[in-house]
Amino acid sequence: MLFRLLLRSERSALRSGVQMRRNFSSAVVVNRYMLVYDYVEDVLEKRTPHRPGHLQLIKEGMEAGNVIMAGALANPPDKAYIVMSSEEAAAEFSKVDPYVLNGVVTSYSIREWNTVEFLKNDTP
């Protein structure tokens, strides 16, 4: 989804005559933490009463800078991944998430995830 938004922004900029540069000088490794949820078999039905609270928690986490992105797998919807800014943020999130508290999540784990990000070069 994020890629689609970036691509759409780039296309809009190009249509309006704005030239976008992609000069990257170096790559850096950024530590993120992946909160991995395993869902119950009938997750689509069982999550329904708890979904508003779960989505609100994600929204608040994003606003605070703790949640980077989140989403569930499809076909089958058996797992979800929530990318967090720190291991502590992931642990705290899982302690209060309505999906965990109400049995929608059967198990979860927190894994360190090393992402690669590029620093933009200021020279053309």
pTM: 0.74
- The pLDDT tens digits of the residues spanning 25-49 come to 688 899 999 999 999 999 999 999 9
Residues 65-113 have pLDDT tens digits of 999 999 999 999 999 999 999 999 999 999 999 999 999 999 999 999 9
Q: Output the CA–CA distances (angstroms, integers) from residue 22 to 7, 9, 30, 114, in the order listed.
A: 13, 14, 20, 22
Give residue 15's pLDDT: 47
The answer, yes or no, to whether residue 119 has pLDDT greater than 90, is no
